[in-house]
Structure 1
């Protein structure tokens, strides 16, 4: 990547899962939880002035009209599954020129002036930053759920352009990608848009046992290795590369955009397949050079748990 990451740029990519929020007693996913806590510590130390958040939607905000890419000029937290409520602090003086510039560069970005964003944004925002509004954020939606989808390579190109546009901003910018890794939620497999939350829950409950078996750790590990060792290869990533990891893995488009925006290799903070959440859960950040002790592995955690 020709543009080197600067000290005023950070990238965090993290999985989200409704199962994590339903696991109120924190019985599962201890390794991932430790990883997301470590990522939050790194974000706190970075002290971002602005967050550019690449997220997805689970057929709540965009149902009848589904853009491939949308940039929000104002947004609220939907509060589903325990995700934050309130209003995102979207800086119009940055977001509007960014949208105009992306359009001028040939990216057909839909400009959204008000929308409620579900846990595809809110869960990871809450984990990394806290309550709304806290830090100014530009939410950028990528369609990862309702075919036809723009290509993963297009997500990479979009992220690179966003990073270039904001590189001279003079602010500490945190790029976030939220979603993935391998998973196949039954409600997405059904390709049924417009479900209520009650209907969605019923579909997912009926297919949960089968979905537990659809995590693909080998695919997840290979993807994490790719963003660490060869991030520029994401420019040629395709749907065919993603399909083996399940329909929910299309959310890695958000990771691809964030990594491209930050123009930096990543390091894996934690990875854990969590069948109870039907998802391969991962978190990766820009290398920090920190000398803190590595997180315990899932097997180590199991050995010390009562």
Structure 2
């Protein structure tokens, strides 16, 4: 098979705020199954869809999508810093393929990525630099956002381009599911917060630590039932996972951006990475889900899911 898929939630609170032992064991079991699936597929390239949390992309220039022809990890929340092993030739081939289909796609020789990219690489491969990768940023927090059909169309175009590379390509979608962490909103933000959202790259270590400590504290409050952020929505999460497994794009396309926020929190838009990943796999033909795990984990402020999938034939 040319393409295979793994989607997984991420959380900066993993390793800091701890769920019950049986929940942590179940998550690790899902990761182990995903690693086994990936090991059997033996990917030659990873196409990684991820979001950003105002660490690499800001309102001074906020593209809906950006493909990294070169990329650096900023190392937030304890993830590794340094260059990702981007396959530059493959990245440009994919960019050309997408642009040739009329899909607007930004690209960057020096893309900055955060835990949304680094964490899945560390979970699935042990490090951020073990496998050639093409990272693709999908804006999931900076409003206004386009309709959810746009990341699907991007994923389909990238899937067709990836199928033409003649290599085993693992498509990863990193983010979601329902969650509403304390990510600031630009509209109505105080001037000092707005300025950080416009041009906040390279904070001091003290600024980054203060920001991360606020998120850790919110996670503890959320688990204790005292936080004011939106609740997790397991029913919404599992329905979305079922729709993706069934490739029911018409239903997913019909969901408005407002529905995402109302039903699953502001950061539920990160599932755009899952949508793009499944659409990329579907571009190569019918697929089947191999493994599927889900559990709501308040300690991580996450409806937490892990899936793997492969072509049906």
For Structure 1 versus Structure 2, the TM-score category normalised by the shorter chain is 0.7 to 0.9
Task: Give 1:252 shift.
Answer: 0.2
Indicate the RMSD between aligned Cα atoms, in angstroms.
2.4
Contact 2:142–2:185 (CA under 8 A) maintained in structure 1: no
Cα distance change, pair 188–279 in 1 and its aligned pair in 2 (3 A): farther
Q: Structure 2 residue aligned with 1:249, among 244, 268, 276?
A: 268
1:57 to 2:72 alignment: no
- Are the structure 2 counterparts of residues 19 and 222 from structure 1 closer, same or farther at C-alpha, using a change threshold of 3 Å? same
Structure 1 unaligned regions, length at least 5:
1-6, 290-306
Q: How does 1:162-177 map to 2 (within 5 A)?
A: 162-177=158-173
Q: Residues of 1 paired with 2:253 and 2:121: CA distance?
A: 26
Distance 2:278 2:42 in 1: 19
Structure 2 distance, partners of 1:89, 1:229, is 33
Give 3-state SS (helix, strand or coil) of 1:266's partner: strand
Tell me by how many angstroms 1:267 deviates. 4.8
C-alpha distance in structure 2 between counterparts of 1:259 and 1:20, whole Å? 25
For the pair 1:223 / 2:240, whether they are aligned, the reply is: yes
The aligned length equals 283
Q: Which residue of 1 aligns with 2:124?
A: 128
Q: d(CA) in 1 for partners of 2:288 and 2:153?
A: 16
- Equivalents in 1 of 2:184, 2:295: separation in Å? 22
Which residue, 182, 192, 198 being the options, matches 2:178? 182
TM-score (normalizing by structure 2): 0.82
User: Are the counterparts in 2 of residues 153 and 237 from structure 1 also a CA contact under 8 Å?
Assistant: no
Q: How does 1:86-125 map to 2 (within 5 A)?
A: 86-125=82-121
1:174-202 deviation line (CA, Å, top 9, x unaligned): 00000000000022467652484244335
Whether 2:154 is the aligned partner of 1:143: answer no
Deviation at 1:11, TM superposition (A): 0.7
Structure 2 gap ranges (5+): 188-192
Query: Per the alignment, in what secondary structure is the counterpart of residue 90 of structure 1?
Result: coil
Q: Distance in 2 between matches of 1:181 and 1:112?
A: 27
Give the Å deviation of 1:105. Answer: 2.2
Which runs of 4 or more aligned residues in structure 1 lie more than 6 Å from their structure 2 counterparts after TM superposition?
Answer: none
| 2:48 matches 1:31 | no
Secondary structure of 2:43's match? Answer: coil
Match of 1:82 among 78, 81, 84: 78
